[in-house]
Structure 1
Amino acid sequence: MRKNTKNKVVQIPLRLNILFFVVFLLFAALILQLGVVQILNGDSFQEEIDRTIQDTTKIPVPRGKIYDKNYNVVVDNKALYSITYTPAKGIQAKDRLDVAKKLAEFLSMDTDGITERNKKEYWYLLNTEEADSRLSETEADEMTPAEQYSAILETITEEEISNFSDEEKEVIAIKAELDKAYSLTPQVVKNRDVTSTEYAEVAENLGDLPGINATTDWVREYPYENTFRSLAGSITTQEQGIPEDREQYYLTRGYSRNDRVGKSGLEEYYEDILRGRKEEIQYTTEKDGTVIDSTTIVEGNPGKDLILTIDMQFQQEVDKIVQEELEKTIKKHPNQHRYLEDALAVVMNPQTGELLAVSGQTHDKEENEYINTSFKTMHDSHLPGSTIKGATVLAGYESGVTTPGQVFNDRRLKIADDTRGKGSYRDLGPVNDYSALKLSSNVYMFYIALKMGGEHRYPFPDGSNASFNTSAWQEMRNYFRQFGLGAPTGIDYPYESTGLEGNSYQQPGLLMDYAIGQYDTFTTMQLAQYVSTIANDGYRVRPHFLKEIRNPALSTDEQGSVYRSTTTDVLNRIQMDSSEISRVQEGFRQVFQESGGTGYNYFGTPEYRDYKAAGKTGTAENSIDGVNTENLSLVGYAPYDEPEIAFAITIPHLGIVNDRHPINHRIGQRILEAYFEVKKEQDEENESE
């Protein structure tokens, strides 16, 4: 029989009823509390919101240091006391004046830099009503607020701003610095010559100085003074801030307008590495700018450190050598060498591309002093002369116009109506590729150029017109670019010249000039890469200053961990066969090591023979203001069987004299001496440790 359930009442358990009642009480309490907050305390909470502001500011951190390969500091940071100003939003000129007056009680300021406008703006704030009355309503209606302000300032007379006291001038100077500040961005008010007393007094009174902070700042310091400084580069001052022409680039990467950034050299090239990460602090301030709380939300990290391939002990020696030899040359014939200013040298490891020393010295004739201009090794290009004949010989092999061991008779060639002709410094007679390099035969290179241009007559008939296909220009230049001649070297530096190309291609005589280094110009860095490529069996490596990047050190007694290391970067292998490269290497060896070689008297003598150097000498003719001058150059490497050092030297615009100082050879000799002496000393130190 079925039970009837229609009238059955469902009973809710007692515990569930209790739970419902508790939930009801909680909601009632919450509603009551919201009412209390809204009705009783709402005004006070709103006042607190209106009274305080939360802002985030970014604090600069020390820039990364730069070390040489032996971890000697090349560019350091020097700590300074610093007084900064970080304005809150909405701060007006009157507010900044009040801060300046208070700050002037504790801080002395140099007033030499204040301008007439600074004085007028100060006078305006003290006499606002009177100044505003000088502009009629009709005049004001036709102007923007900025135009009104400028017009009012123009009405302020010289007499009205001429009698400020020294104390008022200090206030004006401080306010001028405060006016430079951007909202929420620290602006340095004073960081030079801040005394410990000034620092302490400002720090003790920060509560009365809205936006002011007593902190530490830094400036770049150079323990080796001018050595390598032009290559290390420079940074902007805080007054300069980020460059205007790259403002958007930096702002989109988290920079502030008054941040210091690298503006030249390695400081610029490695800006992203050296800059570090700013510390971010969230400030809670009252409306008047008084800070009532602060919280660090992002920890700052100093910039990473650069470890260079440069050996500063060796770099100092090379700078000294280059300057001394330049000075000797100028003193010997000051009148004849009136266009001589520079001496340039690059020393690198031909197998790795590590730059060991880069030197440039310039004689300032007006001050009669020598200035370090090492950047000119990459910026300035000059006619290289016969140093590039190794590339010409290899171009002849690869193009098929000459063969290893081929002989040409070195005698003056006369093309068409050129009665003077083109030749070597004397007729050398029959020369092959070895002796053409050893004796520096121009004629051998002329035949390579003529044959590449389509002229195959040999011997070339005097007075004839030469057949010439202008495509030979591109072919020859393409071969040269494989060595880095006329092409970027790839160096880690903000700017390098690739040299200048001549632009007349119709005359075969000009390609003949090109083949002996008398047409296109190249930098000393390009010459160093070129000779390194020959020394390195045809492998062209990228020259570089950077050895490694390290994280900031935890203490001054140790280096930080390695962040990144630089490895050898092979840019290309020249097309020429290894056996052909070996022939040029042998020719270069004979230049320095065999009697009759153009460098033998300097590198083949008993005192230099042990260095086992190989290389090529060069002289190029050029004219300045109608005066004939010569460039002297030299490239080389040592030891020739296992090269570990390659060098290139350029001395432009010497006067033509018979007994001039052999500056290029003397610099080359002394560079080898210094390199192997420094290496010996360091090896002995390492063994003793």
Structure 2
Amino acid sequence: MDVRNTESELMDFRVRVWVIGVVVMLLLGVVWARLVVLQVVRHDAYAERAESNRTAVVPIVPNRGQILDRNGVVLASNYSAYTLEITRSKVENLEETIDQLAEVVEISQRDRRKFKRLMEDSKSFESIPIRTRLSDVEVAKFAAQRWRFPGVDIQARLFRSYPLENVGSHIVGYIGRVSQKDKEAIEEWEDAANYRGTEVIGKLGIEQSYEKELHGQTGWEQLETSAGGYAVRRLNSRPATPGDSIVLSLDIRLQKMVEELYGNRRGALVAIDPRNGEVLAMVSKPTYDLNLFVGGIDTENWAMLNESIDRPMLNRALRGTYPPGSTFKPFMAIAGLESGKRTPDTTIMDNGSWTFGGHTFRSGHPNGPTNLRRSIIKSSNVYYYMLANDMGVEAIHDWLAPMGFGQLTGVDLKGEVRGVLPNQEWKRNTYKRPEQKKWFAGETISLGIGQGYNNFTILQLANAMAMLANHGVKNKPQLGLGRVDAVTREYQPLPRDAAQPMGYKASNVEAVRSAVAAVTVEGTARGVFMGASYQSAGKTGTAQAVGVRQNEKYNASRLSEYQRDHSLYIAYAPVDNPTIALAVIVENAGFGAAAAAPIARRVMDYWLLGRYPSEDDMAAMRKGQASTPIGPSRNANDIPLPGETLPLAGLPVHPLPDYRTDGAAAAVAPSGPVEVEED
């Protein structure tokens, strides 16, 4: 045996043992270092993660606050119900599953359409209701066969309810499931964490504008969970705080009355308290049933609302724009006086037409020598043709814009449009072709009588009339009157912007106020207000829906309904101390005194005298066949408030007078046809 080979092998063995030992020591060192990191350096982080795996924090969504009118009538509330819901990611064959479910509980075609619409705005892992408001029997039937339907479950949900259905629908608005766009917007909010677990959000109207007040404070539960993720016990919790209730300045009985007066006609009315900007009524006709949106609207009803030629989803008071016609004249008169282009005694000759640049502008009928007062009483077009020409388009814009025309009023509803109060810059920015961008002097003339490019909302007209009623002091219109604390149930008024004096000369304002007050006594609205026990101020207006050639006379019978002139009226009352100002339009209904003014008369009779139209009067008004009230009026206090009423301490309710105890108010105005003078 070779000794040298043996020693070499021993040496190699020792080296291998030493290398292995070093490797083992290094590995032990790595393990030891890792243990130090896990047990010492990152102990707190891993301990917290382990605890989170053992516990879960579940948000508790609060009950949504109610919406009430100024008398405490409930306009929006909540109810709880069971829903049958499907999580698509857990279902293999969706259509087959729905068909099998329909054998257990009733699932209508409307339910299926609604479900498909909700799928478009939802993720596959989200739970979507296929049936709402399950009965106890249906819940029991499904529970017995729950094992057959993986991905389908029953949930207890809180649903929104609109007890008055379509009354005030454009104002109240509705809620809907939180869309991806909503989620992105919520992430930018300071209180985004408060919306964890929230599935619905205000989409329109007051529901949208006062979302954060109505939502409430989200609570939470900390639950201990098993390895399988099931809750074992509750460790801690904080209850959710319901949302505050919002009280509106609307008188919903007045709102409902006006909506009924319109019947099937289209239009809008806004009534404001000129002393503070409170919106008393904001009507847009036609309306729609808000309950169609509870739980998600189905495709058929959505198409019906959006494709109707009457456009029921359009809030005509807030988003509909119209030429104001002659209702624009009192505000042009103020501009003429303030700009120095006219005095109250400036007199022009109204021969029934006026020619400028070889073009004759028609007026309807001659009024002879006409000053400012007569121009409003007789609704002289010639007077305002000449005034517009003397002022020019830029001055008209600069004087009328501060009154709110072509501007956002700032009302507490989203989606308000500006309308158009034109000037040269507006035209340059609006039209594309160079020849269209130029402003022509003849275009200024039509602006003076509220035609041409002028297009305003009924809210803007009502707000301007409220400013005139308030002696040249403007208030921002507001629907939110106060809030009721969800915990203390105490009523607190909502903040309101300070009044804004326009800075007009008092004698100029009073000259125009005197003229509009005479309209109901000796002017175009005298027939409608015959027999009224109060004096109101007003101005009729007729606005073209389509243009008529200069040499062609307007003939409503030759036009389709949707091409006929609009009927407008603006007013305030009582003249000496106004408590209500309004603007009203009845689309395609002709002269202002024929359709719009009679509605204004009923609103003022209600607010000032506590009078509610008789059944015969209501029926005639719905058809547009009444001027002065027909038959003995009813006492408004005898007409029940629609829906449930919650008595609220501290609510500044406007008490309606009992007209039966007031001799002057009890007189019934003569009924029958009266002469209607064209404005």
Q: TM-score range by the shorter chain?
A: 0.5 to 0.7
CA contact (8 A) 2:61 2:197 kept: no
Change (3 A) 1:674 1:263: same
Q: Which residue of 2 aligns with 1:134?
A: none
Partner AA of 1:253 in structure 2: A
Q: 1:561 aligns with which of 473, 486, 490?
A: 490
Q: Which residue of 2 aligns with 1:264?
A: 204
Partner AA of 2:544 in structure 1: E
State the 1:362 CA deviation.
3.4
Partner AA of 1:577 in structure 2: K
Give deviations 1:243-266, integer Å, cap 9, x for gaps. 366364469712347620011111
Q: Indicate whether 1:648 and 2:583 are aligned.
A: yes
Partner AA of 2:441 in structure 1: P
CA contact (8 A) 1:354 1:543 kept: yes
Q: 1:593 aligns with which of 521, 528, 533?
A: 521
Q: Which residue of 1 aligns with 2:543?
A: 620
Q: Which residue of 1 aligns with 2:229?
A: 289
Q: Indicate whether 1:674 and 2:614 are aligned.
A: no
Q: Which residue of 2 aligns with 1:433?
A: 372
C-alpha distance in 1, partners of 2:221/2:305? 53
CA contact (8 A) 1:540 1:570 kept: no
C-alpha distance in 2, partners of 1:177/1:583? 57
Q: Which residue of 1 aligns with 2:510?
A: 582
Q: How many equivalent residue pairs?
A: 523
Partner AA of 1:72 in structure 2: V
Q: Indicate whether 1:663 and 2:591 are aligned.
A: no
Q: Which residue of 2 aligns with 1:4?
A: none
Q: Indicate whether 1:509 and 2:435 are aligned.
A: no
Q: Which residue of 2 aligns with 1:416?
A: 357
Give deviations 1:462-488, integer Å, cap 9, x for gaps. xxxxxxxxxxx2321121122211111
Give deviations 1:359-413, integer Å, cap 9, x for gaps. 1213999999988657211101000001011111111111111122221111332
Q: 1:253 aligns with which of 184, 187, 192?
A: 192
**Percent same amino acid at aligned positions?**
23
Q: Which residue of 2 aligns with 1:217?
A: 157
Q: Indicate whether 1:481 and 2:397 are aligned.
A: no
State the 1:651 CA deviation.
2.6
State the 1:191 CA deviation.
6.7
State the 1:241 CA deviation.
7.2
State the 1:210 CA deviation.
12
Q: 1:447 aligns with which of 377, 381, 386?
A: 386
Q: Indicate whether 1:53 and 2:22 are aligned.
A: no
State the 1:355 CA deviation.
0.9
Give deviations 1:611-647, integer Å, cap 9, x for gaps. 3111111122342799663222110011111101111
Q: Indicate whether 1:548 and 2:488 are aligned.
A: no
State the 1:685 CA deviation.
8.2
Matches within 5 A, 1:104-123: 110=107
Q: Indicate whether 1:65 and 2:66 are aligned.
A: yes
CA contact (8 A) 1:361 1:372 kept: yes
Give deviations 1:254-290, integer Å, cap 9, x for gaps. 2347620011111111111111112211122112122
Is the partner of 2:411 in helix, strand or coil? coil
Change (3 A) 1:179 1:401: closer
Is the partner of 2:354 in helix, strand or coil? coil
State the 1:532 CA deviation.
0.5
Change (3 A) 1:524 1:179: closer
Matches within 5 A, 1:3-402: 53-81=54-82, 110=107, 180-181=124-125, 187=127, 192-196=132-136, 216-237=156-177, 243=182, 246=185, 248-249=187-188, 253-254=192-193, 255-256=195-196, 259-323=199-263, 326=265, 342-362=266-286, 375-402=315-342
State the 1:547 CA deviation.
0.5
Stretch moving more, 294-303 or 344-353: 294-303
Q: Which residue of 2 aligns with 1:491?
A: 411
Change (3 A) 1:569 1:634: same
C-alpha distance in 1, partners of 2:86/2:402? 55
CA contact (8 A) 1:536 1:643 kept: yes
C-alpha distance in 1, partners of 2:68/2:396? 41
Q: 1:518 aligns with which of 451, 458, 478?
A: 451
CA contact (8 A) 1:80 1:191 kept: no
CA contact (8 A) 1:241 1:261 kept: no
Partner AA of 1:674 in structure 2: Y
Partner AA of 2:366 in structure 1: D
Is the partner of 2:358 in helix, strand or coil? coil
CA contact (8 A) 1:389 1:517 kept: yes
C-alpha distance in 2, partners of 1:649/1:199? 50
State TM-score, norm by structure 1. 0.66
Is the partner of 2:134 in helix, strand or coil? coil
Give deviations 1:517-547, integer Å, cap 9, x for gaps. 0121000000000111100000111111111
Partner AA of 1:612 in structure 2: Q
Give deviations 1:131-189, integer Å, cap 9, x for gaps. xxxxxxxxxxxxxxxxxxxxxxxxxxxxxxxxxxxxxxxxxxxx99998456xxxx566
State the 1:417 CA deviation.
2.1
Stretch moving more, 444-453 or 434-443: 444-453
Q: Which residue of 2 aligns with 1:639?
A: 574
Unaligned runs of 5+ in 1: 1-37, 39-44, 119-174, 327-341, 454-472, 555-559
C-alpha distance in 1, partners of 2:375/2:460? 23
Is the partner of 1:70 in helix, strand or coil? coil
Is the partner of 2:349 in helix, strand or coil? strand
Partner AA of 1:517 in structure 2: G
Is the partner of 2:544 in helix, strand or coil? strand
Give deviations 1:11-49, integer Å, cap 9, x for gaps. xxxxxxxxxxxxxxxxxxxxxxxxxxx9xxxxxx99x96
Flag the structure with larger Rg: 1
C-alpha distance in 2, partners of 1:94/1:523? 50
Partner AA of 1:415 in structure 2: F
Is the partner of 2:333 in helix, strand or coil? helix
State the 1:490 CA deviation.
1.0
Is the partner of 1:422 in helix, strand or coil? strand
Stretch moving more, 480-489 or 364-373: 364-373
State the 1:648 CA deviation.
0.4
CA contact (8 A) 1:634 1:665 kept: yes
Change (3 A) 1:110 1:508: same
C-alpha distance in 2, partners of 1:687/1:569? 38
Task: Give the superposed CA RMSD.
Answer: 4.5
C-alpha distance in 2, partners of 1:431/1:112? 66
CA contact (8 A) 1:323 1:370 kept: no
Q: Which residue of 1 aligns with 2:555?
A: none
C-alpha distance in 2, partners of 1:241/1:78? 26
